[in-house]
């Protein structure tokens, strides 16, 4: 037996984003997780997985098209999509290789469960569980909760678990009259953003279309610690500090004094949404001034509060927003509103709970991705904080931001974070005045990667 329902706002946003991927890129919607099973029995692992699936509808949900529109179908029972293999694990990093191999396998958008797992045992004893989820059904926040609950189940914890709203319940609530004030507020916000204009200098692509993109990754253990320290100093969040200097670098290289940044919002600010298991992320844009005469402290706070205002309105019906944009005279000139409305986006993901150390002296690295995602927005930054290490992944259209500009934005970020802690009274234009080229190697490498060295 199954129950069919419309999609929640988060599910619909993920659907509209993923359906625009070009052929061969469907795996980019995948999210991984590896769970340590050592010391557990196979029966205990199976019982815990079965209880998780019974507890959470999203693990029993498939997607389908009904009259051309996506719907979710929640099944009462499903067969666990768990593959099993018994082998000796001689390489302690094997789970990382297996994670990447399985991450590269896309899920069909319709007709099947959007998660899978591989249980590796040795002589019958469980070693680890490699899971892959589609962003259609969960976000990183949900995966953390699922892992915590799995650990509690195998530990025999009988404590009650707060499960939050299911995606089906969220979809119903978002269509009730009581939700109407929130919807109206989001629509007013979107009208203001559209009236203010988006960043026209960033070209956008039709759905399923590929174009050359470059991706540059700055990796530093110290950088994330400085962002957290600067956040405490200025009363803002670490993501806001990093985003502020990304926006400053973008404005400089677009030769503009205002930028449109789009933030990936978790939409879990209300206490009642803290334990929802599902996909709730949505992008929300904001237009802000970038004043090169402002102090670093003023710039950081301006970007923080502009982002905070945007977050208040980040749960919305994507199809309604695209219709509103069309009525407002927006014309993407193609069929991909995701690319058009969110031309420059920023996402910050805290993969685990380990804090970064601002005093860590491990040398930073700067690397070009051999095969960058050749679709989507002309500018995108994703920050991943994992095991005390911060990775800043910047994707750009080389016709808009050539390699040397991308390197300069990364340098601007590193220098800005350092000065935000040591000398926040400096003005923004000082970031490009020639100061700071002697950045410590823990923040920015002295040796540039080959592509950047040729371009710089």
- Give the residue from 130, 149, 171 where a domain finishes: 171
Outline where 157-217 has alpha helix (H): 167-173, 180-196
The tens-digit pLDDT sequence of the chain (456 residues) is: 899 999 999 999 999 999 999 999 999 999 999 999 999 999 999 999 999 999 999 999 999 999 999 999 999 999 999 999 999 999 999 999 999 999 999 999 999 999 999 999 999 999 999 999 999 999 999 999 999 999 999 999 766 788 899 999 999 999 999 999 999 999 999 999 998 877 667 899 999 999 999 999 999 999 999 999 999 999 999 999 999 999 999 999 999 999 999 999 999 999 999 999 999 999 999 999 999 999 999 999 999 999 999 999 999 999 999 999 999 999 999 999 999 999 999 999 887 778 888 999 999 999 999 989 999 999 999 999 988 999 999 999 999 999 999 999 999 999 999 999 999 999 999 999 876 568 999 999 988 887 744 444
pLDDT for position 435: 60
Q: Centre a 10 Å sphere on the Cβ of residue 19 and count the other Cβ atoms it contains.
A: 16
Which CATH number is 429's domain given?
3.30.559.30
Name the pTM for this structure: 0.93
Please indicate, yes or no, whether residues 282 and 337 belong to a single structural domain of this protein. yes
Please indicate, yes or no, whether residues 166 and 192 belong to a single structural domain of this protein. no
Sequence-separated (6 or more) residues with CB below 8 Å from residue 322: 337, 341
Question: What DSSP string describes 114-174?
Answer: SEEEEEEEETTEEEEEEEEEETTT--HHHHHHHHHHHHHHHTT----------HHHHHHHT
Which CATH number is 62's domain given?
3.30.559.10
From CA 204, how far away is CA 343, in angstroms rounded? 7
According to DSSP, the residues that pair with 132 across neighbouring strands are: 32, 116
pLDDT for position 452: 46
Q: How many domains does the chain have?
A: 2
Instruction: Tell which residue, 22, 114, 105, has the closest CA to residue 372.
Output: 22
Q: Which domain holds residue 111?
A: 2-171
Sequence-separated (6 or more) residues with CB below 8 Å from residue 197: 260, 287
Inter-residue contact 387 to 420 (CB < 8 Å): no
Please indicate, yes or no, whether residues 182 and 151 belong to a single structural domain of this protein. no
Please indicate, yes or no, whether residues 182 and 165 belong to a single structural domain of this protein. no
Burial zone of 46 (CB within 10 Å; 0-12 exposed, 13-18 middle, 19+ buried): middle
From CA 321, how far away is CA 329, in angstroms rounded? 13
- Give the residue from 153, 171, 189 where a domain finishes: 171
Question: What DSSP string describes 6-41?
Answer: PPPHHHHHHHHHHTTPPTT-GGGGEEEEEEE-TT--
> How is residue 421 written in tokens?
């802690």
Inter-residue contact 37 to 126 (CB < 8 Å): yes
pLDDT for position 456: 40
pLDDT for position 158: 67
Instruction: Tell which residue, 210, 202, 203, has the closest CA to residue 375.
Output: 210
Determine which helix (DSSP H) or strand (DSSP E) holds 417, and give its type and residue range.
helix 403-422
Inter-residue contact 265 to 237 (CB < 8 Å): no
Please indicate, yes or no, whether residues 190 and 136 belong to a single structural domain of this protein. no
Please indicate, yes or no, whether residues 307 and 442 belong to a single structural domain of this protein. yes
From CA 195, how far away is CA 296, in angstroms rounded? 28
């Amino acid at each position: 037996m199954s129950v069919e329902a419309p999609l929640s706002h988060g599910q619909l946003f993920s659907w509209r984003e993923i359906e625009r991927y070009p052929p061969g890129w469907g795996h980019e919607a995948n999210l991984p997780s590896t769970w340590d099973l050592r010391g557990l029995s196979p029966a205990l692992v199976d019982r815990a997985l079965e209880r998780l699936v019974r507890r959470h509808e999203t693990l029993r949900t498939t997607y389908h098209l009904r009259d051309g529109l996506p719907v979710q179908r929640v099944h009462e029972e499903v067969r666990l999509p768990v593959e099993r293999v018994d082998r000796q694990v001689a390489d302690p990093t094997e789970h990382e290789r297996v994670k990447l191999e399985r991450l590269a396998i896309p899920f069909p958008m319709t007709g099947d469960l959007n998660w899978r797992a591989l249980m590796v045992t040795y002589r019958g004893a469980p070693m680890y569980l490699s899971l892959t989820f589609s962003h259609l059904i969960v976000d990183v926040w949900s995966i953390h909760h699922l892992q915590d609950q799995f650990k509690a189940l195998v530990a025999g914890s009988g404590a009650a678990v707060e499960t939050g709203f299911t995606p089906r319940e969220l979809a119903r609530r978002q269509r009730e009259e009581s939700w109407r004030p929130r919807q109206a507020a989001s629509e007013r916000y979107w009208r203001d953003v559209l009236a203010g204009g988006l960043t026209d200098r960033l070209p956008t692509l039709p759905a399923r279309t590929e174009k050359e993109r470059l991706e540059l990754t700055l990796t530093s253990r110290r950088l994330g610690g400085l962002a957290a320290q600067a956040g405490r100093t200025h009363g803002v969040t670490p993501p806001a500090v990093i985003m502020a200097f990304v926006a400053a670098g973008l404005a400089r290289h677009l030769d503009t004094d205002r930028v449109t940044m789009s933030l990936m919002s978790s939409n879990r600010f209300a206490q009642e949404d803290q334990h929802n298991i599902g996909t709730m992320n949505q992008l929300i844009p904001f237009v802000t001034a970038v004043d090169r005469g402002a102090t670093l402290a003023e710039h950081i706070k301006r970007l923080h509060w502009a982002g905070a205002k945007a977050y208040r309105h980040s749960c919305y019906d994507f199809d309604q927003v695209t219709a509103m944009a069309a009525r407002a005279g927006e014309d993407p000139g193609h069929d991909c509103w995701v690319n058009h409305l969110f031309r420059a986006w920023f996402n910050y993901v805290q993969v685990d709970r380990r804090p970064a150390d601002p005093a860590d002296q491990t040398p930073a690295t700067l690397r070009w991705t051999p095969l960058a995602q050749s679709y989507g927005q002309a500018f995108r930054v994703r920050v991943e904080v994992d095991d005390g290490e911060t990775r800043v992944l910047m994707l750009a259209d080389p016709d808009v931001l050539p390699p040397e500009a991308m390197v300069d934005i990364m340098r601007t970020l590193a220098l800005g974070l350092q000065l935000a802690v040591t000398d926040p009274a400096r003005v923004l234009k000082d970031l490009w005045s020639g100061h700071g080229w002697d950045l410590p190697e823990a923040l920015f490498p002295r040796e540039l990667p080959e592509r950047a060295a040729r371009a710089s």
